[in-house]
């Protein structure tokens, strides 16, 4: 796609808006292992004292901003770029963005975002919004500005924008980096693929311009889509220009935005818009497709399908595990199991372990040897709840001989010994298992990032283990426990969790939220009780923030749980 630039303001108005402010100029959600690297680029226009500013995020369908990160570590910066990322992206940034080897990079969980999340820079003292990427309170899934496994770059000469202005950005389109980068064997780094870093300038373009806003380039639309509106914007016009649109070789002259296209399942569309005044002044081009779907009754039939095809799984499946990382879910039925990989958060309906889910629609694919199902639309509420989950009993010999037969299934192995050379559980680490006299071996891997046993002691006694069978590149298979309860012996935490290690603020609160933090980064579950003892909120925190806007003024009790330990705190809503 030719990247073209749209200017929302005239040169003089745009110039007048510039001051000594930070400007968000690029955002990246990579496709390396773990969805890395995450990267935010900020330009200091003039001399900017970052001690005055903070970064916040707003995730998924949440409507409140939080997880604020003070930016003072950047100090004063003049007409230069700074970068923000997360700790798990360090290696990927080194290989995929080599130009940043000596650049200032701040590591913070505030950038633990997916392609549907929003970020903004605020004045710390007043919370005044300086610049923002993404539409406030809107989940970006399917929006033109979605950057899942992709990127977006600010148009030269625009910003900062206190409310998001899509016209001031160029979008790679969701999935633009899928399977690419040197981390996945590609010849080009992400830095090359996105057109470089530190490329933004404050100089505006005054030439006539046209830009397609929707659909995104490379978009794949759901089966059953019969019409598609092509939305475009123009700028710097004299008043005599017209717009022509060409769809799959057929041209319509003198069109306005939006222009409706009749669509058919299974078809692809190439769209070009031309800004014309005697000759072509500017153009923009996108391609998109409408998927076709197949119907399967169970997971065995789904697993036998063709990669890249869309399927509707009509039968009910049971949820055996879920994690916030890439919104992943493991589901199974009597015929098999499969991983649901949902990095864009398309399945926004909330489910609990052991819920039944019916009618999942998605695309079948394979990554790192694992067959996965990526949803293209949200699913309905649970079709059943509190189902009995019965793990399949297997031996290490069975897993070693036919691990593929159990991929993504919930299984149980009995009387195994774990290698505890590494005495505690560390994320992304393998632990050898032996059974019997040690003749049979298999590997346990800590692949679930939010597991409550991370940091706990590895069992030194013989134990049964229930877990999910996972696969990584190279036909390497592992069993991974979902939580500490999946071990038959106690898994003891080495971290301290008591009333003094938990902080709740602001308290009292009139802001509609409270922040809850502890001495470690493990998952925190919170139950809120009213003065009658009725549970009014029960959820697991994702960014240390609890939304209490629905509660009336009064006194409540918080039960805060982490790593199988709990404390209680009083909460006052003003």
Question: In CATH terms, are 11-193 and 209-290 the same topology?
Answer: yes
> What does the pLDDT average to over 139-147?
89
- Condensed to tens digits (0 to 9), the pLDDT of residues 308-344 reads 889 999 999 999 999 988 889 999 999 999 999 988 7
pLDDT at 158 over 50: yes
Does the 499-573 domain belong in CATH 3.40.50.620?
no
Structure confidence at residue 524 (pLDDT)? 86
Closest-CA residue to 202 (of 2, 8, 11): 11
Element (H, E) at 365: strand 356-367
Instruction: Based on DSSP, count helices (H) and strands (E) in the chain, helices before strands.
Output: 5, 37
**Exposed / middle / buried, residue 167 (Cβ in 10 Å: 0-12, 13-18, 19+):** middle
* Bridge-based pairing state of the strands 118-123 and 53-58: antiparallel
CATH number of the 11-193 domain: 2.60.40
Distance CA 189, CA 100 (A): 12
3-state SS string for 10-37 = CHHHHHHHCCCEEEEEEEEEEEEHHHEE
pLDDT at 10 over 60: no
Q: Which residue's entry shows tokens 């031309």?
A: 274
- Condensed to tens digits (0 to 9), the pLDDT of residues 412-462 reads 999 999 999 999 998 889 999 999 877 799 999 999 977 889 888 899 889
* Bridge-based pairing state of the strands 370-375 and 336-340: parallel
DSSP per residue over 469-511, as a string?
EEEETTTEEEEE-SSGGGBSS---B-S--SGGG-EEESSSB-S
Structure confidence at residue 125 (pLDDT)? 94
The class that CATH gives domain 299-375 is mainly beta
Assign residue 426 a region (left: φ > 0; alpha: ψ between -120 and 50; beta: otherwise).
Answer: beta
318 φ, ψ to 5°?
-105, 135
**Neighbour count for residue 423 (Cβ, 10 Å):** 10
Structure confidence at residue 90 (pLDDT)? 92
* Contact predicate 171/150, CB 8 Å: yes
376 Cα distance to chain centroid: 15
> What does the pLDDT average to over 375-383?
93
**Exposed / middle / buried, residue 572 (Cβ in 10 Å: 0-12, 13-18, 19+):** middle
Beta bridge pairs of residue 552: none
Confidence of residue 564 (pLDDT cuts 50, 70, 90): low
Confidence of residue 405 (pLDDT cuts 50, 70, 90): very high
Distance CA 161, CA 404 (A): 51
- Condensed to tens digits (0 to 9), the pLDDT of residues 468-480 reads 999 987 678 999 9
* Contact predicate 437/312, CB 8 Å: no
The class that CATH gives domain 392-486 is mainly beta
Which range of 137-146, 267-276, 320-329, 368-377 scores highest in mean pLDDT? It is 267-276
* Contact predicate 58/139, CB 8 Å: no
Q: DSSP secondary-structure letter at 109?
A: G
Distance CA 114, CA 212 (A): 23
> What does the pLDDT average to over 78-106?
95
Element (H, E) at 77: strand 76-85
- Condensed to tens digits (0 to 9), the pLDDT of residues 28-75 reads 999 888 789 999 999 999 999 999 999 999 998 889 999 999 999 999
Structure confidence at residue 379 (pLDDT)? 94
pLDDT at 1 over 50: no
Distance CA 395, CA 418 (A): 15
Q: DSSP secondary-structure letter at 457?
A: B
* Contact predicate 40/107, CB 8 Å: no
**CB within 8 Å of 552: residues ≥ 6 apart:** 573
pLDDT at 483 over 90: yes
pLDDT at 4 over 60: no
Distance CA 304, CA 121 (A): 47
End-to-end CA separation in angstroms for the chain = 53
Q: Name the token pair of 494.
A: 């080495």
Q: Name the token pair of 174.
A: 């969701």
Structure confidence at residue 482 (pLDDT)? 96
Sketch the domain layout of the chain as residue ranges. Answer: 11-193, 209-290, 299-375, 392-486, 499-573
* Contact predicate 115/74, CB 8 Å: no
Confidence of residue 304 (pLDDT cuts 50, 70, 90): very high
Averaged pLDDT of the chain: 89
Confidence of residue 117 (pLDDT cuts 50, 70, 90): very high
Peptide bond connecting 37 to the previous residue in cis, omega within 30 degrees of 0: yes
> What does the pLDDT average to over 470-495?
82
Ranking 5-9, 360-364, 410-414, 472-476 by mean pLDDT, the lowest is 5-9
Confidence of residue 95 (pLDDT cuts 50, 70, 90): very high
* Contact predicate 50/124, CB 8 Å: no
Structure confidence at residue 322 (pLDDT)? 95
pLDDT at 108 over 50: yes
What b/e readout covers 150-161, taking b as 16+ CB neighbours within 10 angstroms?
Answer: bbbbbbbbbbbb
Distance CA 135, CA 214 (A): 15
Fold of 209-290: Immunoglobulin-like (2.60.40)
The more confidently predicted of residues 524 and 10 is 524
The three-class DSSP label of residue 88 is: helix
Confidence of residue 493 (pLDDT cuts 50, 70, 90): low
Q: Within 13 Å of residue 49, how many CA atoms lie on the same side as its CB?
A: 3
**Exposed / middle / buried, residue 239 (Cβ in 10 Å: 0-12, 13-18, 19+):** exposed
3-state SS string for 291-334 = CCEEEECCHHHHHCCCCCCEEEEEEEEEEEEEECHHHEEEEEEC
Distance CA 184, CA 277 (A): 45
- Condensed to tens digits (0 to 9), the pLDDT of residues 176-225 reads 888 788 988 888 899 999 999 999 999 877 889 998 878 877 777 888 89
**Angle at the Cα of 148 from the Cα atoms of 363 and 370, rounded to 5 degrees:** 45
User: Length of the chain, please?
Assistant: 574
């Amino acid at each position: 796609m030719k990247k073209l630039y749209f200017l929302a303001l005239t040169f003089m108005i745009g110039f007048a808006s510039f001051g000594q402010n930070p400007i968000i100029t690029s955002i990246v959600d990579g496709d390396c292992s773990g969805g890395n690297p995450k990267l935010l680029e900020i330009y200091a226009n003039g001399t900017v004292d970052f001690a005055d500013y903070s970064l916040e995020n707003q995730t998924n369908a949440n409507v409140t901003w939080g997880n604020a990160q003070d930016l003072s570590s950047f100090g004063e910066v003049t007409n230069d770029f700074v970068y923000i990322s997360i700790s798990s992206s360090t290696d990927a940034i080194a290989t995929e963005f080599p130009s940043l080897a000596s650049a200032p990079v701040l590591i913070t969980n505030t950038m633990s975002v997916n392609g549907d999340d929003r970020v903004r820079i605020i004045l710390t003292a007043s919370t005044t919004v300086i610049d923002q990427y993404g539409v406030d309170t809107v989940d970006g899934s399917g929006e033109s500005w979605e950057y899942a496994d992709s990127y977006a770059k600010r148009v030269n000469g625009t910003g900062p924008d206190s409310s998001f202005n899509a016209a001031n950005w160029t979008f790679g389109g969701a999935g633009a980096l899928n399977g690419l980068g040197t981390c996945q064997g590609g010849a080009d780094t992400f830095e090359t693929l996105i057109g470089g870093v530190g490329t933004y300038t404050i100089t505006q373009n005054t030439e006539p311009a046209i830009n397609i806003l929707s659909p995104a380039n490379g978009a794949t639309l759901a089966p059953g889509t019969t019409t598609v509106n092509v939305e475009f914007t123009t700028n710097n016009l004299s008043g005599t220009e017209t717009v022509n649109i060409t769809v799959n070789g057929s041209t319509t002259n003198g069109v306005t935005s939006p222009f409706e296209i009749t669509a058919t399942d299974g078809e692809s569309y190439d769209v070009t818009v031309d800004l014309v005044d005697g000759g072509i002044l500017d153009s923009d081009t996108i391609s998109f497709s409408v998927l076709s779907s197949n119907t399967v009754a169970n997971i065995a039939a789904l697993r036998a399908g063709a990669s890249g095809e869309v399927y509707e799984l009509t039968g009910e499946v049971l949820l055996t595990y879920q994690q916030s990382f890439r919104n992943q879910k493991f589901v199974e039925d009597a015929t098999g199991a499969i991983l649901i990989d949902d990095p864009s958060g398309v399945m926004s309906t909330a489910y609990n372990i052991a819920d039944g889910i019916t009618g999942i629609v998605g695309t079948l694919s394979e990554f790192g040897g694992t067959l996965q199902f990526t949803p293209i639309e949200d699913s309905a509420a649970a079709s059943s709840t509190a189902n009995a989950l019965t793990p399949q009993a297997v031996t290490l010999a069975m897993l070693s001989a036919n691990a593929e037969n159990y991929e993504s299934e919930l299984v149980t192995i009995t009387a195994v010994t774990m290698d505890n050379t590494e005495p505690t559980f560390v994320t992304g680490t393998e632990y050898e298992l032996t059974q019997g006299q040690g003749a049979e071996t298999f590997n346990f891997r800590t692949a679930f990032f939010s597991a409550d046993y991370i940091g706990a002691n590895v069992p030194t006694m013989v134990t049964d283990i229930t877990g999910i069978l996972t696969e990584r590149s190279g036909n390497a298979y592992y069993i991974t426990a979902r939580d500490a309860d999946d071990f038959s012996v106690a898994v003891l935490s080495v971290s301290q969790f008591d009333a003094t290690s938990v902080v709740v603020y602001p308290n009292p609160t009139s802001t509609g939220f409270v922040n809850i933090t502890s001495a470690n980064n493990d998952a925190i579950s919170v139950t809120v009780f009213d003065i009658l003892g009725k549970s009014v909120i029960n959820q697991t925190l994702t960014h240390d923030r609890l939304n209490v806007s629905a509660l009336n003024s009064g006194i409540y009790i918080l039960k805060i749980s982490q790593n199988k330990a709990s404390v209680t705190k009083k909460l006052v809503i003003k």
